[in-house]
Amino acid sequence: MRRPLRLTGLAVLSAALLVASGGTAAAAPALTSNPDAVGHAAAVTGDQHRQVLDHWTPQRFQAAVPIEALAGDRLADLPHTGTPAAGAPVAVAPTDPLGSGAEIQAFPESGAPWTDGGAVVQTSGRVFFDFQGQPASCSGNAVTSANESVVMTAGHCIKLEGSFHTNWVFVPAYNNGDDPFGTWTGAQSFITPQWNANENINFDIGAMVVNPLGGQQLTDVVGGQGIAFNQPRGLPMYAFGFPAAAPYDGTRLIYCSGDTFNDPLFSTAIGMTCDMTGGSSGGPWFRSFDEATGTGLQNSVNSFKYIFLPNAMFGPYFGTDGQNVYNAAQSA
């Protein structure tokens, strides 16, 4: 196992690891012995669901900080071994079909507020949870799934330093404290075996199945983006998230876009020029993104940065291992 460098924030990981879980109840045992995806129970019962909602007062939401701000140097020196799993390309269509004739245009070199509206405003959201009893935040995105309840995020936004986060919630369409579609509690989480075993940054992929709210499933309310696995590398992509570390404050949806490239250093991740910071971890990366409709195929998540490359964001390659996590979640 190589430990050749220090990473920053999102998985010091860079500035994007934050986020949400907070524990009113003891951690539940793993839900599944599936070797392809590690499952864990969150707020499974009605009482647990209500306890989590009661836990997140306006004051506690406001107190949440990016997870890397809490973990600090403990996120450094993560293992970087492993290769993307091979497999046939897989893509799941979005809830609303992609528009035709979309073209990717000028790419900002740094993050900018997303002001074009569309589906991404509703499917993207902030993730909140307690990390070792302290309120933290990340980002996530609702995707098309069989159970209409799956949020994709980073593995470290579900489990870090050997323990699962508690009081995990997803707030889609978050905007400066507003939650127009409510707060959705996590019921079951799934991560890759590699992240579960030793927090291997190449497999920093997670999914949360959220509980119904008001008798409705998540994507019935906010829609769901498509998701793709085992796709070609080097494609233009858009990244979204809610960075909460300076110069950002977590109040609004930020995006970057541009050509992607392979990590030239110590991981099998893909990279993009982007200055988003902590709290953006877990935010979606889209290929085939249509600015007019705000829809695309999710193909990675914000995961980590290198301290010496602050304007480069990296995300795990969505191969067969990521597909296993998604399939386990949508089958839950």
Q: What are phi and psi of 15, to 5 degrees?
A: -85, 25
Q: Say if residue 83's pLDDT is above 50.
A: no
What integer is the mean pLDDT of 265-282? 95
Residue-wise pLDDT for 145-172, tens only, equals: 999 999 999 999 999 999 999 999 999 9
| Dist. CA 68–CA 66, nearest whole Å | 5
Selected residue with higher pLDDT from 79 and 295: 295
What pLDDT score was predicted for residue 109?
55
Q: Say if residue 210's pLDDT is above 90.
A: yes
3-class DSSP string for the chain: CCCCCCEEHHHHHECCCCCCCCCCCCCCCECCCCCCCEEEECCCCHHHHHHHHHHCCHHHHHHCEEHHHHHHHHHCCCCCCCCCCCCCCEEECCCCCCCCCCCCCCCCCCCEECCCCCHHHHHEEEEEEEECCEEEEEEEEEECCCCCCEEEECHHHCEECCEECEEEEEEECCECCECCCCCEEEEEEEECHHHHHHCCHHHCCEEEEECCECCECHHHHHCCEEEEECCCCCCEEEEEECCCCCCCCCCCCEEEEEECEECCCCCCCEEEECCCCCCCCCCEEEEEEECCCCEEEEEEECCEEECCCCCEEEECCCCHHHHHHHHHHHCC
| Dist. CA 242–CA 170, nearest whole Å | 12
Selected residue with higher pLDDT from 22 and 188: 188
Residue-wise pLDDT for 94-152, tens only, equals: 443 223 333 333 444 578 999 999 999 999 999 999 999 999 999 999 999 999 999 99
Q: How confident is the model at residue 21 (pLDDT cuts 50, 70, 90)?
A: very low
What integer is the mean pLDDT of 57-71? 92
What integer is the mean pLDDT of 228-252? 96
What pLDDT score was predicted for residue 10?
54
Q: How confident is the model at residue 18 (pLDDT cuts 50, 70, 90)?
A: very low
Taking the domain 7-330, which CATH number applies? 2.40.10.120
Sheet holding 261-262, edge to edge: 261-262, 270-273, 312-315
What pLDDT score was predicted for residue 252?
96
Q: Say if residue 68's pLDDT is above 70.
A: yes
Percentage above 70 pLDDT, the chain: 78
Residue-wise pLDDT for 53-62, tens only, equals: 999 999 999 9
pTM for the model: 0.84
Domain boundaries, the chain: 7-330
Q: Which residue has the tokens 């999914």?
A: 207
